[in-house]
Amino acid sequence: MTRTGDSGVSITTRIDAATAGLRMRRLRQSDWSRRLVRETNLTADDLIWPIFVREGGGAPEPVPSMPEVFRLSVEGCVEAARRARDLGIPVVALFPYTDADKRDERGSEAFNEGNLVCRASRAIKAAVPEVGILCDVALDPYTSHGHDGIMEGDRILNDETVEALCRQAVVQAEAGCDIIGPSDMMDGRVACIRQALDEVGHRDTLIMSYAAKYASAFYGPFRDAVGSGGMLKGDKRTYQMDYGNSDEAVREAAQDIAEGADMIMVKPGMPYLDIVSRLSREFGVPTFAYQTSGEYAMIMAAAGNGWLDGERAMIESLTAFKRAGASGILSYFSPTIAARMPRR
């Protein structure tokens, strides 16, 4: 029974007139119907798992600001890659924790064929060749000042840094890296890296450029994880993007694509869903989002305090990236969510 107003017309009649008889809630009334018409679905195939590698053996070493994330030995990285394979995660991304005694002002350890990333890449490729490897190209894990490039006084030198990044990319490709990920935000680096790779026979090595990487407060736990947080002098605003800009992201992505990037990335992720959506629509190339350490830590901290349902927040946040147009997501939640998600 529906009430009748002063006009003598029932509420149901009024609603039917207003909606032309379309009742949107019909499709939401059952779990099966919601699943049947869901527009965006997340699977393990959409995930890239970032892992941190450290020197030595033994048990995984917790990262205090990132609950349930660990620094792994090289053998631990191999085990993680096996787990990724078994869960259906296509790619792992390697990030090194570099001891202070291996850092210098020019990031020379980045060019060492026996550095952590190279050793882990070789070990993974030998044991789990079917899993892809993404290697970050930037100098900040290796510099004593914590910046992504070579410094002269307070300035980050663009061209000298790009030359160094080319050397780093070649060393990583030689070690078995499948995807080179320039995260430095130097001008012209994609074209130079592409040429450097091609010249030594790595024409099939992919480039996923951090095309729109913003100077953000969401990187803090990551910097702790790789040991560069306390070393950073100043900030990165002269090369990473201003968080108030959107058109600039389009120009940056267009430039990277023109220079030879096979895929592009937006970092951070959740606060920049508008950028993810805009770039994926604008260019139609594979566009990825990085759910940063800060985004991860916030969800984990809130869940740990009982302020939200951590599992639901995890799934909702990653699905939001897909809904915005991301081809895939780099996330520290990858192994947890892959264990719960169907594969394509």
- Residue 65: name the closest of 319, 298, 315 by CA: 298
How do residues 84-99 score in pLDDT, each as one tens digit?
999 999 999 999 999 9
**Residue 334 and residue 48 in contact, taking contact as beta carbons nearer than 8 Å:** yes
| Residue extents of the structural domains in the chain | 1-38, 42-338
Q: Are 332 and 296 in contact (CB under 8 A)?
A: yes
Among residues 125, 236, 267, 322, the one annotated as catalytic is 267
Annotated catalytic residue 267: yes
Q: What is the pTM of this model?
A: 0.93
236 is an active site residue: no
Here the tokens at position 238 are 């002269």
Per-residue pLDDT tens digits for 13-55: 999 999 999 999 999 999 999 999 999 999 999 999 999 999 9
At residue 186, the 3 state secondary structure works out as coil
Residues 277-291, mean pLDDT to the nearest whole number: 98
Q: Which amino acid is located at 189 in the chain?
A: R
User: 132-136, 195-199, 223-227: lowest mean pLDDT where?
Assistant: 223-227
Per-residue pLDDT tens for 11-23? 999 999 999 999 9
Instruction: State the alpha helices, DSSP H only, in the chain.
Output: 11-19, 31-36, 74-87, 116-127, 158-174, 189-199, 220-226, 247-259, 273-283, 293-304, 310-324, 334-338
Catalytic residue from among 213, 233, 236, 322 = 213
CATH value of 42-338 in 2.40.50.140, 3.40.50.300, 3.40.50.2300, 3.20.20.70: 3.20.20.70
